[in-house]
Amino acid sequence: MTITFIGHGYVGLVTACIFADFGNDVWVIGHTKDKLERLKSGDPLIYEPGLKELLEKNLQAKRLHFTADYDQAIPASDIVFITVGTPPKESGEADLSTVFTVAENIGKHLKSGFTVVSCKSTVPVGANKQVEKILSGTKSASAEVAVASCPEFLREGTGIHDTLNPDRIVIGSDNKRAIELLLEIHKPLGGKRVITDLASAELIKYASNSMLATKISFANLISLYCEKTGADVEMVLSAVGFDNRIGTSFLDPGVGYGGSCFPKDVKALINTGQQLGLNTALLDTVEDINEIVRNNFIHKIEKHVHGKNLAFWGLSFKPNTDDIRYAPSVYIIQDLLQKGYTIAAYDPAAMANVKRLLADKITFFNNQYEVVKGADALCIVTEWNEFRQADLFRVKSLLKKPIIIDGRNLYELSAMKKLGFRYISTGRQAIL
């Protein structure tokens, strides 16, 4: 088939490369000339393990094309996926302006024949009906179009694996032919097929992300209980997770969730609920706890570190990505800068993005050991693998004082005590 993706972010680019790898002819539409040229040269623009190799492979096979020209891609396409961003407005409501602009451009360029327009962008209930209305008002009389919602569930850092090995593929549409086409292109992929209506498909995405964010905030709330009572959060949550009705995934305490999905999707679901007259207290609390645990990490620094020079390991909101959108590290560092702290930081992938945001307000190092030299404490915010078995003898010798504030519980308490660290982790006994 010929498939077009509009938008080349994490969702659009990863999915486009995979469908091209299946043998389809795939177009990707963007609007920034420089970015499109970089993509054509094999630069994926984002850090995602395995993506550069997949991009280069399908460019060489001439199955993957990048353009700013709708007229080049849309008329030939069997399916058009909308994969543009839907950032939150100040109210928390999803900003759908780009989605609707894209829909208008698609409608203007549809030619005679049948085309499925499927929204992978995360949109609130009713948005696809508005897309349908826009397409109907802009397409030619000879063009036949059906709208579908096909939400994505990939995680940054494991995007290729998640796309190739989905738990489920959700297809929402009232059009039988559209459903059949979408089922056909997803044949190489596993996972349960969920065929439903537009509204249900739209809500499934928000409900899924908000449920995961709720589990994270629950784990973080329990970690606060543990710090007050002397209980061990890892013991507590592992035992809770052994219950098959609950499970262990997303029950890891830390410094809060971030990224492009959870923060905005929780806000959007709260906004939708308020518009519908619903009580959104549960989701309001999920957001509140996410802020509380970030502030709790800052409080630990203020309580246990007497100097003002801090080293940070990790800046991205999670490992294996360079994404810093709503990253806990950014909130924490900005707060500490206002309080007069000096920050030195290292991250395997996200430093360039943080430099664009904070410029010369903090110092960046290209090595995890150089960054700790002379610091009053080491603060761990992102659980990159290279930190898990770091040379802690070396870290101790480089620090001015052997203090680690660990927001991700990377190390065993007994080992840190034996090494002579002052070690303050999350939901566990502080080694003082």
In the predicted structure, residue 337 carries a pLDDT above the cut 90? yes
pLDDT of residue 259: 93
CB crowding 94-119: b at 16 or more within 10 Å, else e: bebebbbebbebbbebbeeeebbbbb
Looking at the annotation, which residues are catalytic?
261
Find, among 255, 274, 257, the residue nearest to 215 by Cα: 257
223 touches 251 (CB < 8 A): no
Q: Which two tokens stand for residue 242?
A: 């052994």
Handedness of CA 31, 21, 163, 151 (dihedral sign): positive
Picking from 14-18, 64-68, 78-82, 89-93, which range would have the lowest pLDDT averaged per residue? Answer: 89-93
In the predicted structure, residue 112 carries a pLDDT above the cut 90? no
Binding site for NAD(+), residues? 35, 86, 122, 156, 264, 325
Percent above pLDDT 70 for the chain: 100
Q: What is the distance between the alpha carbons of residues 117 and 249, in angstroms, rounded to a whole number?
A: 34
In the predicted structure, residue 126 carries a pLDDT above the cut 90? yes
Predicted confidence band at 127 (pLDDT cuts at 50, 70, 90)?
Answer: very high
250 touches 212 (CB < 8 A): yes
Q: What is the distance between the alpha carbons of residues 70 and 328, in angstroms, rounded to a whole number?
A: 38
Q: Where do the domains of the chain lie, and which CATH numbers do they carry?
A: 2-196 (3.40.50.720), 212-424 (3.40.50.720)
Q: What mean pLDDT do residues 215-224 have?
A: 98
pLDDT of residue 209: 96
Number of H helices, E strands in the chain: 17, 14
Instruction: Give residue-wise pLDDT tens across range 393-402.
Output: 999 999 999 9
In the predicted structure, residue 336 carries a pLDDT above the cut 90? yes
Instruction: Give residue-wise pLDDT tens across range 155-170.
Output: 999 999 999 999 999 9
pLDDT of residue 167: 96
Residue 74 CB neighbours (<10 A): 24
Binding site, residues? 35, 86, 122, 153-156, 205, 250-254, 258, 264, 318, 325
